[in-house]
A and B are shown apart, each in its own frame.
Chain A
Protein backbone atom coordinates (compact mmCIF):
# COMPACT_ATOMS: atom_id res chain seq x y z
CA UNK A 1 0.00 0.00 0.00
CA UNK A 2 1.38 3.35 -1.06
CA UNK A 3 1.47 5.88 1.79
CA UNK A 4 1.70 9.60 1.24
CA UNK A 5 4.24 9.90 4.04
CA UNK A 6 6.73 7.81 2.08
CA UNK A 7 6.43 10.18 -0.88
CA UNK A 8 6.76 13.20 1.41
CA UNK A 9 9.87 11.81 2.99
CA UNK A 10 11.52 10.89 -0.23
CA UNK A 11 10.50 13.73 -2.52
CA UNK A 12 8.71 16.80 -1.34
CA UNK A 13 5.97 18.05 0.96
CA UNK A 14 4.27 19.58 -2.10
CA UNK A 15 2.82 16.21 -3.05
CA UNK A 16 -0.83 15.95 -2.05
CA UNK A 17 -3.44 13.31 -2.43
CA UNK A 18 -7.20 13.00 -2.66
CA UNK A 19 -9.61 10.10 -2.82
CA UNK A 20 -12.94 9.55 -4.47
CA UNK A 21 -14.55 6.25 -3.39
CA UNK A 22 -11.69 3.77 -3.86
CA UNK A 23 -9.89 5.97 -6.35
CA UNK A 24 -6.61 7.45 -5.10
CA UNK A 25 -5.12 10.47 -6.79
CA UNK A 26 -1.62 11.70 -6.03
CA UNK A 27 -0.94 15.24 -7.22
CA UNK A 28 2.71 15.79 -7.99
CA UNK A 29 4.49 18.98 -9.05
CA UNK A 30 5.80 18.93 -12.59
CA UNK A 31 9.51 18.74 -11.74
CA UNK A 32 9.04 15.76 -9.39
CA UNK A 33 6.92 13.77 -11.83
CA UNK A 34 9.53 11.52 -13.40
CA UNK A 35 11.29 10.60 -10.11
CA UNK A 36 7.95 9.82 -8.47
CA UNK A 37 6.82 7.62 -11.36
CA UNK A 38 10.17 5.85 -11.42
CA UNK A 39 9.89 5.26 -7.67
CA UNK A 40 6.38 3.83 -8.11
CA UNK A 41 7.59 1.47 -10.82
CA UNK A 42 10.88 0.28 -9.36
CA UNK A 43 10.08 0.16 -5.65
CA UNK A 44 6.31 -0.10 -5.39
CA UNK A 45 5.71 -2.48 -8.28
CA UNK A 46 3.35 -0.33 -10.36
CA UNK A 47 4.41 -2.19 -13.47
CA UNK A 48 1.56 -1.25 -15.80
CA UNK A 49 0.65 2.14 -17.23
CA UNK A 50 -2.99 1.77 -18.23
CA UNK A 51 -3.99 5.34 -18.87
CA UNK A 52 -2.38 8.57 -19.84
CA UNK A 53 -4.65 11.44 -20.64
CA UNK A 54 -4.95 15.17 -20.24
CA UNK A 55 -7.56 17.74 -19.26
CA UNK A 56 -7.82 21.35 -20.40
CA UNK A 57 -8.94 23.55 -17.50
CA UNK A 58 -9.45 26.70 -19.55
CA UNK A 59 -12.50 28.59 -18.24
CA UNK A 60 -12.83 26.35 -15.21
CA UNK A 61 -13.70 28.35 -12.12
CA UNK A 62 -10.98 28.12 -9.47
CA UNK A 63 -8.55 26.42 -11.85
CA UNK A 64 -5.01 27.64 -11.38
CA UNK A 65 -3.28 25.71 -14.16
CA UNK A 66 -4.18 25.19 -17.79
CA UNK A 67 -3.57 21.48 -18.42
CA UNK A 68 -3.72 18.50 -16.11
CA UNK A 69 -2.00 15.29 -17.18
CA UNK A 70 -3.14 12.06 -15.55
CA UNK A 71 -1.23 8.79 -15.35
CA UNK A 72 -3.16 5.66 -14.31
CA UNK A 73 -0.99 2.93 -12.83
CA UNK A 74 -1.67 -0.64 -11.73
CA UNK A 75 0.39 -2.96 -9.60
CA UNK A 76 -0.40 -6.26 -11.29
CA UNK A 77 0.76 -8.29 -8.29
CA UNK A 78 -1.37 -6.69 -5.61
CA UNK A 79 -4.03 -5.13 -7.83
CA UNK A 80 -3.45 -1.72 -6.32
CA UNK A 81 -4.22 1.28 -8.48
CA UNK A 82 -3.11 4.86 -8.27
CA UNK A 83 -3.60 7.93 -10.41
CA UNK A 84 -0.75 10.40 -10.60
CA UNK A 85 -1.68 13.89 -11.71
CA UNK A 86 0.42 16.86 -12.64
CA UNK A 87 -0.16 20.29 -14.18
CA UNK A 88 1.53 22.07 -17.03
CA UNK A 89 1.05 25.52 -18.51
CA UNK A 90 1.40 27.35 -21.83
CA UNK A 91 3.08 28.61 -23.89
CA UNK A 92 5.18 25.43 -24.24
CA UNK A 93 3.64 22.66 -22.14
CA UNK A 94 6.29 19.99 -21.70
CA UNK A 95 6.74 16.88 -19.61
CA UNK A 96 9.40 14.19 -19.48
CA UNK A 97 8.43 11.11 -21.46
CA UNK A 98 7.80 7.97 -19.42
CA UNK A 99 8.52 5.73 -22.40
CA UNK A 100 11.72 4.46 -20.69
CA UNK A 101 9.58 3.22 -17.77
CA UNK A 102 6.54 1.79 -19.54
CA UNK A 103 6.45 0.90 -23.22
CA UNK A 104 2.69 1.50 -23.30
CA UNK A 105 3.42 5.21 -22.98
CA UNK A 106 4.42 5.27 -26.65
CA UNK A 107 1.01 5.69 -28.28
CA UNK A 108 -0.61 7.27 -25.21
CA UNK A 109 1.88 10.14 -25.26
CA UNK A 110 1.47 10.50 -29.00
CA UNK A 111 -2.28 10.83 -28.52
CA UNK A 112 -1.92 13.49 -25.82
CA UNK A 113 0.52 15.36 -28.06
CA UNK A 114 -1.88 15.12 -30.97
CA UNK A 115 -4.94 16.32 -29.08
CA UNK A 116 -3.48 18.79 -26.54
CA UNK A 117 -0.05 19.73 -27.88
CA UNK A 118 1.76 18.72 -24.70
CA UNK A 119 5.28 17.78 -25.75
CA UNK A 120 6.88 14.75 -24.11
CA UNK A 121 10.60 15.30 -24.04
CA UNK A 122 12.52 12.11 -24.72
CA UNK A 123 9.78 10.30 -26.59
CA UNK A 124 11.41 8.30 -29.41
CA UNK A 125 8.82 9.11 -32.10
CA UNK A 126 6.51 11.94 -31.13
CA UNK A 127 4.24 12.19 -34.19
CA UNK A 128 0.51 12.72 -34.57
CA UNK A 129 -1.45 9.51 -34.15
CA UNK A 130 -5.10 10.34 -34.89
CA UNK A 131 -5.08 13.48 -36.98
CA UNK A 132 -3.33 13.69 -40.37
CA UNK A 133 0.30 14.72 -40.31
CA UNK A 134 -0.37 18.03 -42.01
CA UNK A 135 -2.87 19.09 -39.33
CA UNK A 136 -1.55 22.03 -37.35
CA UNK A 137 -3.99 22.60 -34.49
CA UNK A 138 -4.57 20.66 -31.28
CA UNK A 139 -8.29 19.94 -31.41
CA UNK A 140 -9.07 18.99 -27.80
CA UNK A 141 -7.82 22.33 -26.51
CA UNK A 142 -10.78 24.33 -25.27
CA UNK A 143 -9.87 27.37 -27.36
CA UNK A 144 -10.18 25.35 -30.58
CA UNK A 145 -13.68 25.56 -32.08
CA UNK A 146 -15.62 22.29 -32.26
CA UNK A 147 -16.21 22.70 -35.98
CA UNK A 148 -12.61 23.45 -36.71
CA UNK A 149 -11.03 26.29 -38.61
CA UNK A 150 -11.91 25.06 -42.08
CA UNK A 151 -9.44 22.15 -42.23
CA UNK A 152 -12.21 19.78 -43.23
CA UNK A 153 -12.81 21.84 -46.38
CA UNK A 154 -9.20 22.07 -47.40
CA UNK A 155 -9.19 19.47 -50.15
CA UNK A 156 -9.16 19.57 -53.95
CA UNK A 157 -12.60 19.28 -55.54
CA UNK A 158 -12.93 16.64 -58.24
CA UNK A 159 -15.66 17.29 -60.78
CA UNK A 160 -17.10 14.59 -62.98
CA UNK A 161 -15.64 16.04 -66.14
CA UNK A 162 -12.06 15.82 -64.90
CA UNK A 163 -12.18 12.38 -63.26
Chain B
Protein backbone atom coordinates (compact mmCIF):
# COMPACT_ATOMS: atom_id res chain seq x y z
CA UNK B 1 0.00 0.00 0.00
CA UNK B 2 1.60 3.17 -1.10
CA UNK B 3 1.27 6.02 1.35
CA UNK B 4 1.69 9.51 -0.06
CA UNK B 5 3.43 12.13 1.97
CA UNK B 6 1.08 14.55 3.63
CA UNK B 7 1.43 18.23 2.94
CA UNK B 8 4.38 20.11 4.58
CA UNK B 9 6.49 16.98 5.00
CA UNK B 10 9.53 16.14 2.94
CA UNK B 11 12.24 13.52 3.17
CA UNK B 12 15.96 14.25 3.22
CA UNK B 13 19.20 12.93 4.64
CA UNK B 14 20.19 13.94 8.16
CA UNK B 15 23.55 15.21 6.91
CA UNK B 16 21.88 17.55 4.46
CA UNK B 17 19.42 18.84 7.05
CA UNK B 18 22.20 19.51 9.56
CA UNK B 19 24.37 21.23 6.96
CA UNK B 20 21.45 23.35 5.84
CA UNK B 21 20.81 24.53 9.39
CA UNK B 22 24.47 25.09 10.19
CA UNK B 23 25.34 26.93 7.01
CA UNK B 24 22.52 29.41 7.42
CA UNK B 25 23.27 30.17 11.02
CA UNK B 26 27.01 30.75 11.25
CA UNK B 27 28.24 32.56 14.35
CA UNK B 28 31.48 34.31 13.44
CA UNK B 29 34.32 34.89 15.84
CA UNK B 30 35.98 38.10 14.60
CA UNK B 31 39.74 37.83 15.09
CA UNK B 32 40.39 41.32 13.75
CA UNK B 33 43.96 42.55 14.15
CA UNK B 34 44.27 45.12 11.38
CA UNK B 35 42.46 47.11 8.70
CA UNK B 36 40.59 44.01 7.48
CA UNK B 37 38.73 44.24 10.76
CA UNK B 38 37.30 47.58 9.67
CA UNK B 39 35.94 46.01 6.49
CA UNK B 40 34.58 43.19 8.60
CA UNK B 41 32.73 45.73 10.71
CA UNK B 42 31.44 47.41 7.56
CA UNK B 43 30.20 44.04 6.35
CA UNK B 44 28.26 43.59 9.55
CA UNK B 45 26.84 47.12 9.45
CA UNK B 46 23.58 48.16 7.84
CA UNK B 47 24.80 48.93 4.33
CA UNK B 48 26.14 45.47 3.55
CA UNK B 49 24.27 43.66 6.31
CA UNK B 50 25.78 40.23 6.78
CA UNK B 51 22.61 39.21 8.62
CA UNK B 52 20.99 38.65 5.23
CA UNK B 53 23.08 35.47 5.18
CA UNK B 54 22.47 34.51 8.78
CA UNK B 55 25.94 35.29 10.07
CA UNK B 56 25.32 38.48 11.98
CA UNK B 57 25.77 37.18 15.52
CA UNK B 58 29.40 38.08 16.15
CA UNK B 59 30.46 36.74 19.52
CA UNK B 60 33.70 37.69 21.19
CA UNK B 61 33.91 34.42 23.03
CA UNK B 62 35.25 31.49 21.00
CA UNK B 63 33.07 29.10 22.99
CA UNK B 64 29.96 30.52 21.34
CA UNK B 65 31.21 30.61 17.75
CA UNK B 66 31.61 28.25 14.85
CA UNK B 67 33.28 30.42 12.20
CA UNK B 68 36.68 31.94 12.89
CA UNK B 69 37.35 34.96 10.67
CA UNK B 70 41.05 35.85 10.83
CA UNK B 71 41.10 39.44 9.59
CA UNK B 72 44.51 41.07 9.47
CA UNK B 73 48.15 40.25 9.96
CA UNK B 74 49.13 37.86 12.71
CA UNK B 75 52.49 38.38 14.37
CA UNK B 76 54.43 35.59 16.02
CA UNK B 77 53.46 36.87 19.48
CA UNK B 78 49.79 36.63 18.54
CA UNK B 79 49.86 33.22 16.86
CA UNK B 80 49.72 31.14 20.08
CA UNK B 81 46.66 33.20 21.03
CA UNK B 82 45.05 32.45 17.66
CA UNK B 83 45.75 28.75 18.00
CA UNK B 84 44.29 28.72 21.47
CA UNK B 85 41.14 30.49 20.29
CA UNK B 86 40.79 27.98 17.47
CA UNK B 87 41.12 25.09 19.90
CA UNK B 88 38.56 26.63 22.25
CA UNK B 89 35.86 26.78 19.60
CA UNK B 90 33.36 23.93 19.80
CA UNK B 91 32.72 21.54 16.92
CA UNK B 92 31.65 21.87 14.20
CA UNK B 93 33.80 24.86 13.27
CA UNK B 94 35.23 26.47 10.20
CA UNK B 95 37.90 29.06 9.52
CA UNK B 96 38.04 31.89 7.04
CA UNK B 97 41.31 33.69 6.30
CA UNK B 98 40.47 37.26 5.31
CA UNK B 99 42.85 39.47 3.38
CA UNK B 100 46.33 39.17 1.93
CA UNK B 101 48.10 39.32 5.31
CA UNK B 102 46.17 36.53 6.95
CA UNK B 103 46.50 34.36 3.84
CA UNK B 104 50.18 34.92 2.98
CA UNK B 105 51.70 37.56 5.22
CA UNK B 106 51.10 40.18 2.53
CA UNK B 107 53.67 42.92 2.28
CA UNK B 108 54.85 42.23 5.82
CA UNK B 109 57.59 39.78 4.94
CA UNK B 110 59.53 40.39 8.13
CA UNK B 111 60.93 38.45 11.06
CA UNK B 112 57.88 38.98 13.25
CA UNK B 113 54.93 38.34 10.92
CA UNK B 114 53.53 34.86 10.30
CA UNK B 115 53.47 34.16 6.56
CA UNK B 116 49.89 32.95 6.38
CA UNK B 117 47.80 31.54 9.22
CA UNK B 118 47.12 28.39 7.19
CA UNK B 119 50.63 27.23 8.07
CA UNK B 120 49.52 26.72 11.64
CA UNK B 121 45.72 26.40 11.76
CA UNK B 122 43.37 24.79 9.23
CA UNK B 123 41.66 27.22 6.84
CA UNK B 124 38.53 26.54 4.79
CA UNK B 125 38.05 29.68 2.70
CA UNK B 126 40.57 32.33 1.66
CA UNK B 127 39.46 35.88 0.88
CA UNK B 128 41.94 37.82 -1.28
CA UNK B 129 42.23 41.60 -1.20
CA UNK B 130 44.02 44.27 0.73
CA UNK B 131 41.64 44.71 2.42
CA UNK B 132 38.80 42.79 0.72
CA UNK B 133 35.67 44.80 0.03
CA UNK B 134 32.57 43.79 1.98
CA UNK B 135 31.13 42.30 -1.20
CA UNK B 136 34.12 39.99 -1.39
CA UNK B 137 33.62 38.91 2.18
CA UNK B 138 29.95 38.26 1.49
CA UNK B 139 30.91 36.21 -1.57
CA UNK B 140 33.31 34.24 0.59
CA UNK B 141 30.58 33.67 3.16
CA UNK B 142 28.29 32.34 0.43
CA UNK B 143 31.14 30.11 -0.71
CA UNK B 144 31.58 28.96 2.89
CA UNK B 145 27.87 28.07 3.05
CA UNK B 146 28.15 26.19 -0.23
CA UNK B 147 31.14 24.27 1.09
CA UNK B 148 29.28 23.31 4.25
CA UNK B 149 26.31 22.16 2.19
CA UNK B 150 28.60 20.21 -0.14
CA UNK B 151 30.82 18.49 2.41
CA UNK B 152 29.10 18.78 5.78
CA UNK B 153 28.00 15.77 7.76
CA UNK B 154 25.97 15.48 10.92
CA UNK B 155 28.83 13.88 12.87
CA UNK B 156 31.55 16.05 11.34
CA UNK B 157 33.43 13.04 10.01
CA UNK B 158 34.71 15.03 7.05
CA UNK B 159 36.99 16.94 9.44
CA UNK B 160 38.77 13.78 10.57
CA UNK B 161 39.97 13.16 7.02
CA UNK B 162 41.97 16.39 6.91
CA UNK B 163 45.17 15.18 8.52
CA UNK B 164 47.62 17.31 6.53
CA UNK B 165 48.20 21.01 7.20
CA UNK B 166 46.32 23.40 4.95
CA UNK B 167 49.28 25.66 4.26
CA UNK B 168 52.68 25.22 2.65
CA UNK B 169 55.41 23.34 4.53
CA UNK B 170 57.45 25.12 7.14
CA UNK B 171 60.37 25.95 4.89
CA UNK B 172 59.07 25.86 1.37
CA UNK B 173 61.15 26.62 -1.70
CA UNK B 174 60.20 30.27 -1.43
CA UNK B 175 61.57 30.49 2.08
CA UNK B 176 64.85 28.91 1.03
CA UNK B 177 65.15 31.53 -1.68
CA UNK B 178 64.55 34.26 0.90
CA UNK B 179 67.28 32.87 3.14
CA UNK B 180 69.67 32.96 0.22
CA UNK B 181 68.73 36.59 -0.42
CA UNK B 182 69.37 37.48 3.19
CA UNK B 183 72.93 36.23 2.95
CA UNK B 184 75.60 38.72 1.97
CA UNK B 185 76.57 38.42 -1.66
CA UNK B 186 80.20 38.80 -2.69
CA UNK B 187 80.86 41.77 -4.94
CA UNK B 188 77.29 43.05 -4.82
CA UNK B 189 76.99 46.82 -5.17
CA UNK B 190 74.74 48.22 -2.45
CA UNK B 191 73.52 51.76 -2.14
CA UNK B 192 76.01 52.27 0.70
CA UNK B 193 79.13 50.12 0.28
CA UNK B 194 80.45 48.47 3.44
CA UNK B 195 83.50 49.89 5.15
CA UNK B 196 86.77 48.90 3.54
CA UNK B 197 89.18 50.10 6.25
CA UNK B 198 89.52 47.14 8.63
CA UNK B 199 91.82 49.07 10.96
CA UNK B 200 89.22 51.68 11.86
CA UNK B 201 86.54 49.12 12.59
CA UNK B 202 88.38 46.18 14.04
CA UNK B 203 86.65 46.56 17.38
CA UNK B 204 83.21 46.32 15.77
CA UNK B 205 81.89 42.81 15.55
CA UNK B 206 80.93 41.95 12.02
CA UNK B 207 80.25 38.29 12.48
CA UNK B 208 78.63 36.57 9.50
CA UNK B 209 74.95 35.84 9.45
CA UNK B 210 74.36 32.17 10.16
CA UNK B 211 71.45 30.66 8.29
CA UNK B 212 69.63 27.55 9.45
CA UNK B 213 70.30 24.72 7.03
Contact = CB atoms under 8 A, between A and B. Distances in A.
A147 B182 CA distance: 8
Nearest to A137: B111
Nearest to B75: A152
Interface string B121-160: 1100000000000000000000000000000000000011
Interface residues of A, number: 35
Range class of the B interface residue count: 35 or more
B169 to A, nearest CB: 9
Interface stretch (B5-13, B45-53, B54-62, B202-210): B202-210
Interface string B62-100: 000000000000001101100100110000000000000
Contacts of B76: 132, 151-152, 155
Contacts, number: 114
Q: Is the interface of A mostly helix, strand, loop or mixed?
A: loop
A22 to B, nearest CB: 28
Q: Is the interface of B mostly helix, strand, loop or mixed?
A: loop
A163 B122 CA distance: 9
A61 B193 contact: yes
A156 interface: yes
Contacts of A89: 203-204
B178 A159 contact: no
Contact of A149 (B87, B121, B192, B212): B212
A48 to B, nearest CB: 30
A131 B113 CA distance: 11
B209 A143 contact: yes
B161 to A, nearest CB: 7
A132 B195 CA distance: 33
B92 to A, nearest CB: 11
A161 B111 contact: no
Closest CB pairs A-B (n = 8): A148-B111, A145-B182, A160-B162, A160-B122, A90-B205, A161-B163, A59-B194, A66-B204
